[in-house]
């Protein structure tokens, strides 16, 4: 079985680069991201557009707090590894 990675936060900075690196190596990747507006949604959408060009990439929009969507996405994809990268900056906005 080919390695299948499930990457949370796949449209964020770290998640995008992790996903792209493994896609470039031929791995199958399922991205998972809430696409929230914590920072520029246009940037997240442009990253997602790049990832969607790979035939081995699929995507689910959802929140990690939604256990039903998370469980379904993981089981449907038959994940072999999970890489969790849902980071946010913890600083005051001025």
Per-residue pLDDT tens digits of the chain, which is 94 residues long: 578 999 999 999 999 999 999 999 999 999 999 999 888 999 999 999 999 999 999 999 999 889 999 999 999 888 889 988 766 655 455 4
Structural contact between residues 12 and 44, judged by C-beta atoms closer than 8 angstroms: yes
Is residue 48 classed as helix, strand or coil in its secondary structure?
A: helix
State in Å, rounded, how far the first CA of the chain is from the last one. Answer: 49
Rg (CA), the chain: 13
Residue 18, pLDDT score: 95
Question: Which helix (DSSP H) or strand (DSSP E) does residue 82 occupy?
Answer: strand 81-84
Structural contact between residues 6 and 75, judged by C-beta atoms closer than 8 angstroms: no
Residue 62, pLDDT score: 93
């Amino acid at each position: 079985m080919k390695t299948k990675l499930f990457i949370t936060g796949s449209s964020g900075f770290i998640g995008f680069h992790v996903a792209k690196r493994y896609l470039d190596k031929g791995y199958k990747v399922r991205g998972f991201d809430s696409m929230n507006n914590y920072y520029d949604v246009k940037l997240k959408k442009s990253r997602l557009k790049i990832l969607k060009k790979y035939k081995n990439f699929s995507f689910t929009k959802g929140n990690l707090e939604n256990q039903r969507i998370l469980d379904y996405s993981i089981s449907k994809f038959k994940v072999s590894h999970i890489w969790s990268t849902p980071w946010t900056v913890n600083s005051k906005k001025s």
